Amino acid sequence: MVVFIAGITGVLIGAVIVSVGVALRVTYEERKAVRYRELENYVKEIETLNLLNKKINEILQKRDIYVDKSVNFISMDDCYISIDDFIYLESFSAQNNFYLPTYLIEEFFKKIAHRKVILMPDEVISMGGSTYKGGRVILESFSDELLSIIEDKKRQMKRLTHKPLYYFQRG
């Protein structure tokens, strides 16, 4: 009888040890998966912000091409945005709204819309886009804000990758 009780006790203690081990391993794997998803999210946000910043810089560089076509460029602060580029910015922002700072995007479009030069439709068609008075400053500041957000996301991602993941950590 003593051997039977000792055997049952050994089996129960072994089952408890295995259960604790399995529970620790499952929680570790869950935390690891959550952190992996967070890292993926940071990478996607950084990629999306970089793509948007790249397009903003392309628009800023196109000014020299269209300066001769338009008499509406009076100062170096004016900006030309083709219809295709503006539609791309709007659709890109709409498609990637989960990864972009919504408030920043909305403020950008509000600011740039107030700077649009009113032209006749045939002038807009002949130019293929619109002129924005002082739009260059808005685009440059928007690009700077995007770059600061990108750097912030990179710092957050670096902090997350250097944070150790323990088996016995409560979380």
pLDDT band for position 72 (50/70/90)?
Answer: very low
Q: What is the pTM of this model?
A: 0.76
pLDDT digits (tens, 9 = 90+) for 116-144: 877 777 776 777 777 788 788 899 999 99
Which amino acid, residue 19?
Answer: S
